[in-house]
Structure 1
Amino acid sequence: MEQYFNRFLTGQRVFLKQMEQSHLERFAQLENEKCTLLLANDDIPFPSTAEDHTTFFNSISGKKEEFIFGIFDKQSEELIGSCGVFAINWKNSTCYVGISIASEWQNKGIGTDAMNTLISFIFNYIPIHKIKLQVFSFNANAIRSYKKCHLEQEGTLRNEIFRFGKFHDVFLFGLLRDDWNAKQIQ
């Protein structure tokens, strides 16, 4: 039994855990980075206020329909991003996932490690059949990472997001529990 506790929410280079009040300032800093504002959600990329972050931060603690984690570097224990499970549909056994990594930690395999850790958490501890996510077509690094995590592109929402003065597609990705289980055996 001890072997399961040692591996719980720990990847190769990162570990995931619920953020605490002491992480609020760093979390707000990460969420207001330019790359996060442009790549992590479809809102107009405008920095949030400290009050906005405090409200969001307080709303996620104790919520059992969403699981938002801080992504921490194993060596330094520094908060380097966040990821989460949200929009859980218990009737159809589906959920969405999202991830955001600090710009200085991108393109180093951190996002892939964190996403694999999150996927493992979902399929080992939540009765979910399918994980879904959306990614902007111009986010090539994220798309490569998701494919490494065995997510498959299932569709395209054409001209769905306005960035950089024009409309871009949004790709829909998914991962079925059975497909993930089969990859674990190989």
Structure 2
Amino acid sequence: MLLTNENVWLGPVHDEEFEKMSNWYLHESLVRRLDAKPYRFQTVQELKSWWHGTDAYSQRFGIRLKQGNELIGFVELDGILWNHRNAWVSIAIGEKAHWGKGYGREAMEACLRYAFLELNLNRLQLTVFSYNEPAVRLYAALGFTREGVYREFIERNGKKHDMILFGLLRSEWKDQYDDSI
């Protein structure tokens, strides 16, 4: 199945779950991995507007545990350029108790399958701050190629950090995951 993996599946976020999602933005460490903008909370209404504001250029999914159906994060394909068949991808595991358990990798694998097999995209790209070492390792393990660096792009706690650009082509993904297609 496209949107499922061993422990997680990608699905909807229900209106009553935006309160939970808003609580994820209380974790400074999570927010500072997601965005270069100054840290700030996200209200339930702001999150609902963003989530329901999907258009022809974006797809968003909640990341849910198969066991218990708990919402633990989200994955997004954004800025889809249909005529060029490429998009940006981003992911967040919001529930800190679920960090480091491989759920992000499983969710990304499902998202990549969906992007390449269902949406027929040819290229996915993302950026990540150099201090987010677990994410850098994850993207490399998923087959993304480091394509460039925005040197000293961000300053956090008085230190400058790079922002790394990664890209993955459908042909590269297919070579790596051909057995599962």
Indicate whether the TM-score tops 0.5: yes
> Which one is further off, 141-150 or 42-51?
42-51
Number of the residue aligned with 1:17: 11
**Structure 1's 26 and 138: CA in aligned 2 closer, same or farther, altered over 3 A?**
same
- Please tell me whether residue 131 in structure 1 is matched to residue 116 in structure 2: no
Kindly provide the CA deviation profile for residues 49-81 of structure 1, in whole angstroms up to 9, marking residues without a partner as x. 333223223323xx3321111000111211000
TM score, norm. by length of structure 2: 0.92
Greater Cα shift, 126-135 or 26-35: 26-35
Deviation at 1:106, TM superposition (A): 0.9
Task: Give me the whole-angstrom Cα distance separating, in 1, the residues matched to 2:7 and 2:85.
Answer: 30
Whole-Å Cα distance in 2 between the matches of residues 182 and 58 of structure 1? 35
Distance 2:56 2:25 in 1: 22
Q: Where in structure 2 are the equivalents of 1:102-117 lying within 5 Å? A: 102-117=95-110
- For 2:152, the equivalent position in structure 1 comes to 159
SS at match of 1:158: strand
1:44 pairs with 38, 45, 52, which one?
38
Q: Once the 2 structures are TM-superposed, how far is the Cα of residue 184 of structure 1 from its aligned partner? A: 1.9
With over 3 angstroms needed to count, the CA separation of the structure-2 counterparts of 1:68 and 1:32, relative to structure 1, is: farther
- The residue aligned with 2:142 is 149
CA contact (8 A) 1:81 1:99 kept: yes
Percent identity (aligned): 28
Cα distance in 1 for partners of 2:169, 2:51 equals 30
Shift of 1:161: 1.4
Q: Which amino acid aligns with 1:20?
A: H
Contact 1:35 1:103 in 2 (8 A): no
- What do residues 79-135 of structure 1 show as CA deviations (whole Å, max 9, x unaligned)? 000111001112322100000002211111111111111001101111211110000
Do the aligned partners of 2:128 and 2:136 also contact (CA within 8 Å) in 1?
yes
Question: How many residues align structurally?
Answer: 178
Aligned Cα RMSD in Å?
A: 1.4
Amino acid at match of 1:67: Q
The answer as to 2:50 corresponding to 1:56 is: yes
Structure 2 partner of 1:3? none
2:62 to 56, 67, 70: 70
Deviation at 1:174, TM superposition (A): 0.7
Secondary structure of 1:9's aligned partner: coil
- TM-score norm. by structure 1 comes to 0.89
- For each residue in 1:18-66, what CA deviation from the matched residue of structure 2 results, as whole angstroms up to 9, or x when unmatched? 2121221112122332222110111111112333223223323xx3321
Equivalent residue for 2:26, pick from 15, 27, 32: 32
- For residues 59 and 178 of structure 2, the distance between their equivalents in structure 1, rounded to whole angstroms, comes to 27
* Partner in structure 2 of residue 8 of structure 1: 2
Instruction: Give the aligned residue type for 1:128.
Output: L
CA distance in 1, matches of 2:25, 2:61: 14
Q: Which runs of 5+ in 1 are unaligned?
A: 1-6
